[in-house]
Structure 1
Amino acid sequence: MAAVSPFSEGALPYAPDAADRRRDHSPIRFSARVGAGIAILVATVLIVGLGPFLRGLAAISPLSVLAALVLAVIATSAAAWRWRVVATGYGLTLSRRAGFAAYYRSQFLNAVLPAGILGDVHRAWAHGRDQARLGIAARAVALERILGQIVQVALTLAILLPLGFGYSLVPLVWGAGGIAAGIVVMAVAAVALPRPRRLLRQEYLLLRPVLARPAALLAIITASVVVVASHVALFLVASLAVGLRPDGAIAAVGLVVLAASAIPLNVGGWGPREAVAGAAFALVGLGASAGVSASAAFGALALIGVLPGAIVLLVEQRRRP
């Protein structure tokens, strides 16, 4: 994300030669991420076959499409609200209408382009260009996504960890515990080491206008919970479409699948999501094929849900001189 992204502009004090090395190596990193996503997807196909993918896509119905469009509106509205809170905390201006349209556009680009982040790169660049503050706009987009991921991980851990070790998803409980331990270790390391501590302090001074406002934090947490709930609801819709009866176990699996979707080793969202869904469904006794079918239906419905972003993109292209 670094070299082709405006996120690096003014974000970290890299020396020019270090920045050049980042630019030289970022295409390799990008290709490695996409290649890893393709490899995971191919491995999943080799294990379960192509049939579950085709069944998932064929199971999509007009009612499920309608549900996907409605849930996408809810999730996009909440995510745009979160972005607006963060951006205004940085001193930027962002109207409700512009934030909503830009977020739809970025989700569509994330869904159809490799790596799943290029839409956010474009959103940061477009907003920074309009505000003539590219570095701050990039920080706002990065922070908005990071805060959303933090809330999602915290919500996933809060639901999975209390399940205990008598539940069929016990390996996922262990995995959730490992994630929690890893987060703690990284946080301690960041505070203990001089350079990360200095960078964190520098970023905190910029973030203080946002983090020091309880109302803003509450809005960010609420919006993030709404986004996660909307995505889990869509996963339940996809599960219902492939003939499964949605229940608490599938909802828990949905949280895990969403976490896998955030792994930056995918092709338009495809890759780790299907592999994790197959493994998780096998753990709850529903079979890996059912999980892959549900995940495929979820991926297709998620893409359909953000198709209005393509309309936003086309309208912007027509208006541009």
Structure 2
Amino acid sequence: MPGAARPRVTLRSVLARLNSRKVRTHLGTVAGVVILAVLLWRLGTGVFLDGLRRIDGPGLVVALGIGLFTTVFSAWRWQLVAQRLGIRLPLVPAVADYYRALFLNAALPGGVLGDVHRAVRHGQSAGDLGRGVRAVVLERTAGQVVLAVVGASVLLTMPSPVLAEARHVAPLLALASVGALAVVLALRMNRTPARRDRTALRATLDEARETLLTPGVAVSSAVVLAGHVAMFVLAARIAGSAASVAVLLPLAVLALLAMGLPLNVGGWGPREGVTAWAFGAAGLGASSGLAVAVVYGVLSFVASLPGVLVLVARWYEGVRTGSRTAVPDTAVPEPEGHYPRASPVSRAEPSAEVSNVTYGPKESARLSSSRFPFSADPSEGRPMTPESV
């Protein structure tokens, strides 16, 4: 018996270690590195180098223009969602913070740290961390929902390497979704949740419905998706692919869906693997697909580089403000912030009816003692800021 119990304890300890926060944090990075290593092993480094050599100045300028286009509409979507939640968010600071988030997403492992930073900064500056985080989560969810709807339509109607599989899998997924919904409803009917749980769930569903069904949010998400597809087509042209836009569209959708997987290194990994496979299955060559993915990754990173200017400008402004202002021990500075604190929103009233009286400037956000540009604390009353839609 003792000998039989020892393997069980060992297996339990191994599973506990695999489920630890440290392993979960680095799992995506490790998976992205493994995918890139396999691609290098199978296709060689010449494909990467060839894709990089094809990038020229005009291509970078066009990429910056597309990046500006998609970032402005992404920031507008964020602004609309924040307003629905009762948080004031001016468009110009939102664009700057979104650029900063895009750069952090591209430069740091995981691909989401910039959005986390943006959510925390905006919530702290607005005086409501919960609403700030929910605004970013719902804003990104809106983009993913539009990508899923458009992607399913494209993959089910246009010729692609997964057309036959998609048409066979789609009915099964629909039936599985209906069955899962029926099970959830049955479980909810058979149990009696606490009143607090019902209120919190109802409030969350109301927020999601009010934000995701807003016409402006849907339009901005569609425009952002079109910008990402245009970037993919530009990358294909730079990489030397002569395939038509109709052929590249389903391949771009597959690449964008792969980019949503949290198994990457700054966005690199699944995108390159899926694009190489899709191009090979479509008869365009796996090497060509990998070159397109590499060029796309470089162009996306270049499109996020204005975020560096935002980081440096905010950091320098914080240093100058701190050096000019002498703060007594008994006094706390109260500078005017860009995001005033929002007063509580009553769930009995539609959140779309946000009045200037309710959400006008009230109490300003306090300056943080930290002047480092990556600090999670507000340094000037502005929020700290995917790739993804």
User: Structure 1 residues 288, 147: closer, same or farther in 2, change over 3 A?
Assistant: same
User: Structure 1 residues 266, 186: closer, same or farther in 2, change over 3 A?
Assistant: farther
Residue 377 of structure 2 aligns with which residue? Answer: none
Aligned-residue Cα RMSD (Å) equals 2.5
Matches of residues 88-107 of structure 1 in structure 2 within 5 Å? 88-107=83-102
1:261 aligns with 2:259: yes
Matches of residues 55-204 of structure 1 in structure 2 within 5 Å? 55-163=50-158, 167=159, 169-171=160-162, 174-175=165-166, 178=169, 181-182=172-173, 185=176, 188-189=179-180, 192-193=183-184, 194=187, 202-204=200-202
User: Structure 1 residues 172, 32: closer, same or farther in 2, change over 3 A?
Assistant: farther
Does the Cα contact within 8 Å between 1:106 and 1:309 map onto a contact in 2? Answer: yes
Gaps of 5+ in 1: 1-20
Matches of residues 165-314 of structure 1 in structure 2 within 5 Å? 167=159, 169-171=160-162, 174-175=165-166, 178=169, 181-182=172-173, 185=176, 188-189=179-180, 192-193=183-184, 194=187, 202-206=200-204, 208=206, 211-212=209-210, 217-247=214-244, 248-314=246-312
Does the Cα contact within 8 Å between 2:96 and 2:307 map onto a contact in 1? Answer: yes
- Tell me the secondary structure at the aligned position of residue 214 of structure 2: helix
Distance 1:51 1:64 in 2: 21
Distance 2:92 2:249 in 1: 32
Does the Cα contact within 8 Å between 2:157 and 2:163 map onto a contact in 1? Answer: no
**Aligned AA (1:192):** V
Gaps of 5+ in 2: 1-15, 323-389
Does the Cα contact within 8 Å between 2:138 and 2:211 map onto a contact in 1? Answer: no
Q: What is the Cα deviation at residue 34 of structure 1?
A: 0.9
Q: Answer 1 or 2: which has greater helix percent.
A: 1
TM-score (norm 1): 0.84
Q: How many residues align?
A: 293
Q: What is the Cα deviation at residue 265 of structure 1?
A: 0.2
Distance 2:89 2:293 in 1: 34
Does the Cα contact within 8 Å between 1:75 and 1:226 map onto a contact in 2? Answer: yes
Q: What is the Cα deviation at residue 192 of structure 1?
A: 3.0
Distance 2:144 2:175 in 1: 15
2:34 to 34, 39, 60: 39
Q: What is the Cα deviation at residue 270 of structure 1?
A: 0.4
Q: What is the Cα deviation at residue 57 of structure 1?
A: 1.2
Distance 1:111 1:288 in 2: 24
Does the Cα contact within 8 Å between 1:76 and 1:100 map onto a contact in 2? Answer: yes
User: Structure 1 residues 38, 73: closer, same or farther in 2, change over 3 A?
Assistant: same
Q: What is the Cα deviation at residue 218 of structure 1?
A: 1.1
Distance 2:301 2:215 in 1: 29
